[in-house]
Amino acid sequence: MTSFPHDSHGSGPGVITPDGCAVDFYSLLPPGRDPELINGAIPPGASILELGAGVGRVTHPLLQLGHRVVAVDESPEMLERIHGAETVRGRIETLDLERRFDAVVLASHFVNAPDQELRRTLLRTCRRHVHDRGCVVVQRHELEWFDSAAPSERSDDGITFRLRDVSRPAPGLLSATVEYQVGDRVWRQSFTTARLDDADLAADLAAADLALDTVLTEDRTWIRALPRT
């Protein structure tokens, strides 16, 4: 949902990961359309490296769709909830498995990191682990959201989402606090994220020896990139 959050807490929040995610809350999130979208962008029965896999919200459906997944996350508590996939504990920035995959998935808006060099480091990890004829599937925030984001509330699948304390500390940056409520349990995450338009994304991909191949969704939040060879 958010990029590089911090300051998370709640009523009985359970385990909070180093980047501020509540393990119990992420275990409640439904997979949505993301697994089918990824499945349509990669070869059948692909070997997948999923970066920032969390509790396996996307991992488990991809396994059911016939793919082989290696799930990476820095939180052991997150990885404990993944079943049927190989799991690797580690930070995306420094990961080097000395293996390559048919597809690498970088979801959860990691690519919207405010620091440009960090964004490019994350994408270099993707390039380091993808076959020359493979692909990288990336999720970014919707561009219109940066312009229109304001305090709001909505409910979906029994979860109430509230956006609070929205500010724009610098051009191209948005800071806010998102609040999640399920029953009487509440979790909060504060975050800052960067607006990443097509030109910005193309430059970051090029710095990682990748190139934009296609936009996968109408809102342009999901893209597929290919290695530059």
55 and 97 assigned to the same domain: yes
Structure confidence at residue 19 (pLDDT)? 61
Q: CATH number of the domain at 73, please.
A: 3.40.50.150
Structure confidence at residue 15 (pLDDT)? 64
Place of tokens 């690498």: 104
Structure confidence at residue 208 (pLDDT)? 98
150 and 135 assigned to the same domain: no
135 and 222 assigned to the same domain: yes
75 and 163 assigned to the same domain: no
Structure confidence at residue 16 (pLDDT)? 61
114 and 35 assigned to the same domain: yes
Taking only the tens place, the pLDDT of each residue in 13-68 is 466 666 657 788 888 888 999 999 999 999 999 999 999 999 999 999 999 999 99
Q: CATH number of the domain at 187, please.
A: 2.20.130
Structure confidence at residue 24 (pLDDT)? 82
Q: What is the DSSP string of 8-34?
A: EEESS---B-TTS-BHHHHTT---TTH
CB 175 within 8 A of CB 190: yes
DSSP H helices, the chain, are 23-26, 34-41, 59-64, 76-79, 116-129, 143-148, 198-207
Token pair recorded at residue 63: 């396994």
* 12 part of a folded domain: no
221 and 112 assigned to the same domain: yes
In the predicted model, residues of the chain with pLDDT beneath 70 are: 1-20
CB 141 within 8 A of CB 193: yes
Structural domain span for residue 175? 144-193
Structure confidence at residue 157 (pLDDT)? 85
* 55 part of a folded domain: yes
> Within 13 A of 151's CA, how many CA atoms are on the CB side?
2
Place of tokens 């059911």: 64
* 2 part of a folded domain: no
110 and 47 assigned to the same domain: yes
123 and 39 assigned to the same domain: yes
Tell me how many domains the chain contains: 2
74 and 150 assigned to the same domain: no
Structure confidence at residue 18 (pLDDT)? 61
| φ and ψ at residue 124, rounded to 5 degrees | -65, -35
pTM recorded for the entire structure: 0.90
Task: Tell which residue, 40, 48, 226, has the closest CA to residue 133.
Answer: 226
87 and 116 assigned to the same domain: yes
